[in-house]
Amino acid sequence: MVTGLIGLTVALGVESFGSMLARSQGRTVATELAGELRAARSHATMRRERVRVSFDAANSTVRLELADGPGGLLREFSFRERSVTIEDLSNGPSILFYPSGRAATPTTITLQNRRGERWHLTVTITGRVTIQ
């Protein structure tokens, strides 16, 4: 009886830990992606250059690149190993930030973890990035 109770307690603890880990990974990816978007906006305003953020949902990667001219890769962010996917991009696979800091179109990015929990990142037309 005691062994059964210990087994049940361990099983519930492991599931709880798995749920907590999945939620934590999703929140971390959302926070880091918001940071990448803010960095792109900051680069556009400081360097007075247009910056494009391109999403590759199939490979769970995001690229920050100069919008004008060849060889403009600034950085790449990958979250493939964290079991978080891009579920939806409301206005296409890229966001363009202008030197004024404004975004070309408002966009909502929906992330989902393996347990079905979702996070929404919103980029307003003024370039502000929020996590919901």
Q: How large is the C-alpha radius of gyration of the chain?
A: 19
Question: Could you tell me the CATH number of the domain that includes residue 68?
Answer: 3.55.40.10
For 72-121, the pLDDT digits (tens) are 899 999 998 888 999 999 999 999 999 999 999 899 999 998 889 999 99
pLDDT at 124 over 90: yes
Neighbours of 107 (CB within 10 A): 22
pLDDT at 63 over 90: yes
For 23-51, the pLDDT digits (tens) are 788 899 999 999 999 999 999 999 999 99
For 51-62, the pLDDT digits (tens) are 999 999 999 999
Q: Give the count of domains, the chain.
A: 1
**Three-class secondary structure of residue 99 per DSSP:** coil
The residue range of the domain holding 34 is 2-131
Per the DSSP assignment, residues forming a β-bridge with 119 are 111
Spatial CA neighbour of 128 closest among 109, 91, 99, 102: 102
pLDDT at 70 over 60: yes
Contact 107, 79 (CB under 8 A): no
